[in-house]
Amino acid sequence: MENQLAKSTEERTFQYQDALPSLPVPSLEESLKKYLESVKPFANEEEYKKTEEIVQKFQYGVGEKLHQKLLERAKGKRNWLEEWWLNVAYLDVRIPSQLNVNFAGSACHIEHYWPPKEGTQLERGSLSLWHNLNYWQLLRKEKVPVEKVGNTPLDMNQFRMLFSTCKVPGITRDSVISYFRTESEGRSPNHIAVLCRGRVFVFDVIHEGCLITPPEILRQLTYIHKKCYSEPDGFGIAALTSEERTRWAKAREYLIHLDSENLTMLEKLQSSILVYSIEGGSPFATPEDYSQVATMLLTGDPTVRWGDKSYNLISFSNGLFGCNCDHAPYDAMVAVNISYYVDEKIIENEGRWKGSEKVRDIPLPEELVFTVDEKILNDITQAKAQFLKQSSDLQIVACFFTSFGKKLTKKKNLHPDTFIQLALQLAYYRLHGRPGCCYETAMTRHFYHGRTETVRSCTIEAVRWCQSMQDPSTSDLTVTF
C-alpha cells in the first residue's frame, strides 16, 4: 500500500473495471468437498458419516438442479452473487445496524504527532478533514492508485461508495444511495455534515472553485462548536439511525409526512461527502492500547453520528480520531486506505498546517433544524435507550502485541496470517479443550464487483497441531501434521 500511495501514476482509478473477469461459479463437487473439510474438525465419526450421506444425497439430487440455476444466472450477470450478498448480508437485516453491522476503527495519529491532548479537537479536526477532502478530490479525478496484487488490478468499485453514500431504511429492506460522481461523470455533492450535541450543520467545502483550507475549516468548526456549547442541545435526530431498521423506517416516513422540508434536510445529510462528528468524550488511548477509543467509536453518543452514513469521521475532545462506517456499501480495507493516506500526510507535514492563515469570507454553516412533534421525540428517546442497553453488552479489547512481528515469522518461513490463525486456534483450544469454529475474511476483488468470501481456518491439521502443542511428550522437532 505504501508504494502504491506514494508513487504518481497515469492510471485512472476505475479504468480496469470493464476488463475485470466475471465472478466464476465454483463447481458443485468442489464446494461440497470444501464443506465436508470444514465440518470434519467438529464432528465425531458418526456425525461425519451422517453428514457425508446428506451431502451425497444433495449432490446427486436437488443440488444438481440448483447448481444449474446458478450457472444460468451467471450467464446474465458479471457477478452472480453481488445482489444476493448485498440484500441478505446487509439490506434485509432488521436488527440495529450501528452496533451489529457497522465497522469502526481508530486513527493511529497518537503514535506520532498527535498524542491525546485537550483543546486540540478543532484544530486537528480541520487538518484531518482537509486531508480527507484532498483524498475525495483525488478520487473524483480518478487519481487514487489502482490496488493490485502483483500486476493484477483489483476491483475498485467499493471506493465509489466511500463518499456521498448513505443507506436508507425500508420497512422490509433497506437501500443504498450513492450521489458520488467522478469529475468526468458530472457534478458531485460538495458539502459535509457536522453533528454536535444533537444538532446538525452543513457547509460547502469548495469556495470559488477550490477546496477551503484548514484555517477556513477551523473557522467553520469553531462557529459550530461555540454555538452548540453555548445553546441548548438539539433534538438528536441522528439517534433514530441506531434503531431497529423497520422502526427507523417508519419513524423516517412519519418525519417526512410531518413536514416536507424534513425530507430536504435528510437528503442533505444523505448526500454529504461525509459526516464529521464532534464528540464530547475523551477516551484513553496509548500506542499499545486502543480498547477505550475503539469502544467509544462504536458506542459513543448516537446523536452525533449518522449510523447509515458510509463515512462518519469522529473526533474527541482530546484530539483523538476514528471512523464509524456503514458496512453495506463497502468493506473495511477501503477505510484502511484513506486512513493510511491521511496518516501519511499528517506525518509528512509534522502534524501542522504550513500554508497561509488567511481566511476568506465564506458563508457560515447552515443548521438543519427538523420539524418534530411529541411522537418523534419519544422515538428518539426510545432509540437512545435501546442503543445504551445494547452498548452496555459490548466488550472490546484492542491491544497491540509488541514482543515481535511479521519479520520474525517470515524469518522462520511462517506466513504471518498462518501464525495468527494458528495462535487463535491454540488459544481457544487451551481455554475450551476443543477446536474453535473460525471465520476469516478472504477478498474476491480479482473479479468484477468482488467483495469477500469465507476462509475456514480451523482444519484437521490445525487441530492436530493444537493437540501436539498440549502434549508434554511432544518435542519442538516432532510436531507434525
- Do 364 and 212 touch, CB atoms closer than 8 A? no
Strand, coil or helix: what is 264?
A: helix
Q: Residues 68, 70, 72, 78: is their CA dihedral positive or negative?
A: negative
CA–CA separation, 121 vs 342, rounded Å? 16
Evaluate if pTM is beyond 0.75.
Answer: yes
Q: Which of 327, 415, 432, 446 is catalytic?
A: 327
pLDDT tens over the chain, length 481 residues: 545 554 445 899 999 999 999 999 999 999 999 999 999 999 999 999 999 999 999 999 999 999 999 999 999 999 999 999 999 999 999 999 999 999 999 999 999 999 999 999 999 999 999 999 999 999 999 999 999 999 999 999 999 999 999 999 999 999 999 999 999 999 999 999 999 999 999 999 999 999 999 999 999 999 999 999 999 999 999 999 999 999 999 999 999 999 999 999 999 999 999 999 999 999 999 999 999 999 999 999 999 999 999 999 999 999 999 999 999 999 999 999 999 999 999 999 999 999 999 999 999 999 999 999 999 999 999 999 999 999 999 999 999 988 999 999 999 999 999 999 999 999 999 999 999 999 999 999 999 999 999 999 999 999 999 999 999 888 765 544 4
Task: Clarify whether 109 is annotated catalytic.
Answer: no
- The C-alpha angle 329, 330, 331, rounded to 5 degrees, equals 145
Quick one: which of 152, 391, 125 has its CA closest to 279? 125
- Do 218 and 122 touch, CB atoms closer than 8 A? yes
pLDDT tens, 150-167? 999 999 999 999 999 999
Maximal CA-CA distance, the chain: 77
Cβ burial, residue 87 (10 Å; 0-12/13-18/19+): middle
CB atoms within 10 A of CB 221: 24
CA–CA separation, 361 vs 84, rounded Å? 49
Q: Phi and psi dihedrals of 282, rounded to 5? A: -130, 80
CA–CA separation, 242 vs 307, rounded Å? 6
Strand, coil or helix: what is 207?
A: strand
CA–CA separation, 374 vs 381, rounded Å? 11
Residues with Cβ < 8 Å from 270, sequence gap 6 or more?
Answer: 166, 168, 177, 179, 308, 309
